[in-house]
Amino acid sequence: MEKVLITGGLGTIGSCITAQCVKRGYDVTIIDDYSIGVENNLLYYLNDEEVKKIKIIKGSILNEKLVDEHMKDKGLCFHMAALLGTLRVVRHPYEMIKTNINGTHNVLEGAKKHNVKIVVPSTSMVYGNNPKIMVSENDDCFVGGNLNKSLWWYAITKMADECTTRALLFDESITALIIRPFNIVGPIQSALAGFVIPRFISSAIMGKSIPVYGSGEQTRSFVWTEDFVEALFKLIDKNVWNETVNIGSTYEIKIIDLAKRIIEKTKSGSEIIYVNPDRLFKGQFVEINGRIPCIKKLTDLTGTTDNDFKNVDFILDKFIEYYKTVKDENIWTYKPDY
């Protein structure tokens, strides 16, 4: 039986990966600090009996001994733990840097020491303000990045993670897969971290104003969590290692259109208001006008195409359906600062 360690296994992506591993019959251990993930997230994908099979360790990846202890008998690690989300990154930059760089170092050291294959997530933000709308794995990174803007520091931590992983690959001391996700979303995602779809939907459900940053003309492409995880496991099943791969959809939607569609789908009386993000984030915000992934490499390696990713209407319908079942509003209620 494959023994798997999943850091951040209670988060949006981590819980879905956990579920896939459980359904495959793997022996699963999670390390999570509960800073944003909760055990109930697993129940979106699994039943009570399946969740009971999982060993869940409450702890931080900054605890080197803890990571080493639970890495040593594993065959595979999904390193999904990170401090992320616009609000959390801007409000807690030093904690974010420590977690994302030092914590990842601990996880990589453990994987190296115990010869564990590891999946290391990066972010689409590593591409910076690259003028190319569709970016591929070999394109320049951090184009136009500004070190005076703390939101870019998140991208830098993920670039550091990539570089550390690449250095270990260069030394042939680790087996790793680097993935660059593009806006992975699922209904258990917390609005409290600043993610746009849960922010908009929670505001619409409560009949509160929906805050759109800037003009709303900026575009995003979103990927349903389960589609992302399916594409990831295709890479693993095909034994794709020591590569960097984009995973995302090329379907774009303007943020203003996203807000309007959510109002329509929730039959909400919410109004759209335009917020200056620089004021909200004290000058530390960075806006990307648009960025979509080139997934040719993913397609060539696994056969995954755009048709394998659900469209935004499916995603929004699933969010709204889930929110109707949520009893504890604190899980998803967005509390704006403007």
Which segments within 24-175 are labelled E, that is strand?
27-32, 55-58, 76-79, 117-121, 134-135
- Asked if residue 332 is part of any domain, the answer here is no
Q: Is the pLDDT of residue 285 over 90?
A: no
For 94, half-sphere exposure in the C-beta direction (CA atoms, 13 angstrom radius) is: 0
Would you say residue 207 lies in a domain?
no
Listed in sequence order, the residues at least 6 apart from 65 whose beta carbon sits closer than 8 Å to its beta carbon are none
Looking at residue 7, what is its pLDDT?
98
> Would you say residue 337 lies in a domain?
no
Q: Are strands 76-79 and 3-7 parallel, antiparallel or unpaired?
A: parallel
| 311: helix, strand or coil | coil
In a domain, 275, yes or no: no
Query: What is the mean pLDDT of the segment spanning 93-117?
Result: 97
- The whole-number average pLDDT for the span 48-56 is 97
Please list the residues that pair with 32 across neighbouring strands. Answer: 58
What does pTM read for this prediction? 0.93
Residue 162 near residue 82 (C-beta atoms within 8 A): no
Phi, psi of 89, deg, nearest 5 = -65, -45
The model's confidence at residue 276, banded by pLDDT at 50, 70 and 90, is confident
> What's the maximum distance between 2 C-alpha atoms anywhere in the chain?
58
Please give the pLDDT value at position 333.
Answer: 52
Residue 133 pLDDT greater than 70, yes or no: yes
- Show which residues are catalytic: 154
- Structural domain includes residue 7: yes
Residue with tokens 């690690």: 77
Domain count, the chain: 1
% of residues, the chain, pLDDT over 90: 75
Q: Is residue 25 part of a domain?
A: yes
CATH of the domain at 244: 3.40.50.720
The whole-number average pLDDT for the span 189-211 is: 86
Among 181, 180, 131, 125, residue whose Cα is nearest residue 153 = 125
Q: Report pLDDT digits (tens) over 61-98.
A: 999 999 999 999 999 999 999 998 877 888 889 999 99
Does residue 297 form part of some domain?
Answer: yes
Write down the mean pLDDT value for the chain.
91
Q: Report pLDDT for 338.
A: 39
Residue 335, pLDDT above cutoff 80: no
**pLDDT for the residue numbered 337:** 45
- pLDDT surpassing 60 at residue 330: no
- Which segment of 37-41, 51-55, 298-302 scores lowest on mean pLDDT? 37-41
Q: Are 169 and 112 in contact (CB under 8 A)?
A: no
Give the separation between CA 46 and CA 319, rounded to whole angstroms: 17
| Predicted local distance difference test score (pLDDT) of residue 73 | 94
pLDDT(282) > 50 = yes
Q: What does the block give as tokens for 315?
A: 């995603």
Q: Is residue 138, in this structure, part of any structural domain at all?
A: yes
What mean pLDDT is predicted for residues 17-43? 95
Tell me if 297 sits within 8 A of 128, measured CB to CB.
no
Whole domain around residue 17: which residue ranges?
A: 3-186+223-249+292-310
- Long-range interactions of 186-190: CB distance < 8 A, separation 24+: 186/12, 186/13, 186/16, 186/44, 186/224, 186/225, 186/226, 187/44, 187/318, 187/319, 187/321, 187/322, 187/323, 188/12, 188/15, 188/41, 188/44, 188/322, 189/12, 190/12, 190/36, 190/85, 190/331, 190/332
* Average of per-residue pLDDT across 210-217: 92
Q: Determine the Cα–Cα distance for residues 170 and 167; give it in Å rounded to an integer.
A: 5
Alpha-carbon Rg of the chain, whole angstroms? 19
pLDDT of residue 329: 55
Q: Are 300 and 234 in contact (CB under 8 A)?
A: no
Query: According to the model, what pLDDT value does residue 80 have?
Result: 97
pLDDT exceeds cutoff 70 at 268: yes
- pLDDT at residue number 289: 84
